[in-house]
A and B are shown apart, each in its own frame.
Chain A
Amino acid sequence: AQTVTQSQPEMSVQEAETVTLSCTYDTSENNYYLFWYKQPPSRQMILVIRQEAYKQQNATENRFSVNFQKAAKSFSLKISDSQLGDTAMYFCAFMKHKSSGSRLTFGEGTQLTVNP
């Protein structure tokens, strides 16, 4: 079974600064996907960024980028130029690549607060 661990329950950052959220995972699979989701108080999960395990290049989406270390099974999220609207719970998630079933396995989450 896959497990996802987020070791930072809470983090805070000043507006306009950079913050990195950590995530490690455990799997015996070689092909899989990794995700970061954002969950604001409205409860709606919003996809922030996605990484395919077969791609060596780290994914980037505007101010969001990842550091994917496959051998170390590490997948951290870097948020640059933090904005007040980035305040939310962030979840790291794993999905196996298989012919049927695409279950997301989530970590416990990191509550990020951006301070003015």
Chain B
Amino acid sequence: EAGVAQSPRYKIIEKRQSVAFWCNPISGHATLYWYQQILGQGPKLLIQFQNNGVVDDSQLPKDRFSAERLKGVDSTLKIQPAKLEDSAVYLCASSFTPYTEAFFGQGTRLTVV
């Protein structure tokens, strides 16, 4: 069974530029999560989708971050414009239902300079 796929693995951008990350969840998984993991900290949920609907985006900085999951399958997370403090690993995870095991991708390491 293929795991959660994320791309790119690494990205370096200058502040005020925009960036997008892509996630393809495990086939059949209705729930998709984006987490932000700042170096030395545990991951923090940015947004949770159930199929193509948003369930929880209470911790998403909506002035600069946006995410979509148009067909209820893959998802993109965008940052525009990026700030230095956005440097982090962005993890995507998926699960069959909200209360079954969440499987994580390998993340995208973003460096904003």
Residues of A within 8 A of B (CB): 4, 33, 42-47, 50, 91, 93, 97, 100-104, 106-109
Contact = CB atoms under 8 A, between A and B. Distances in A.
A102 B31 contact: yes
Given A43-B89, A45-B91, A108-B41, A103 B105 contact: no
Nearest to A52: B99
Interface string B20-56: 0000000000010101000011111100101000011
24 contacts: A4-B42, A43-B91, A43-B106, A43-B107, A44-B105, A44-B106, A44-B107, A45-B91, A45-B93, A45-B104, A47-B101, A100-B50, A100-B56, A101-B48, A101-B56, A102-B98, A102-B99, A104-B43, A106-B42, A106-B43, A108-B41, A108-B42, A109-B40, A109-B42
Contacts of A101: 48, 55-56, 98
Q: Interface majority SS on A: helix, strand, loop or mixed?
A: loop
B5 to A, nearest CB: 11
Interface residues of B, number: 26
A56 B29 CA distance: 30
Interface string B90-113: 010101001101101111010000
Interface of B: 31, 33, 35, 40-45, 48, 50, 55-56, 89, 91, 93, 95, 98-99, 101-102, 104-107, 109
Nearest to B53: A100
Contacts of A91: 42-43
A13 B93 CA distance: 30
Contact of A97 (B42, B44, B99, B105): B99
B46 to A, nearest CB: 10
A65 B87 CA distance: 35
Top 5 A-B residue pairs of the complex, sorted by shortest distance between their CB atoms: A106-B42, A102-B98, A45-B104, A101-B56, A103-B45
A102 B89 contact: no
A42 B6 CA distance: 13
Contacts of B44: 106
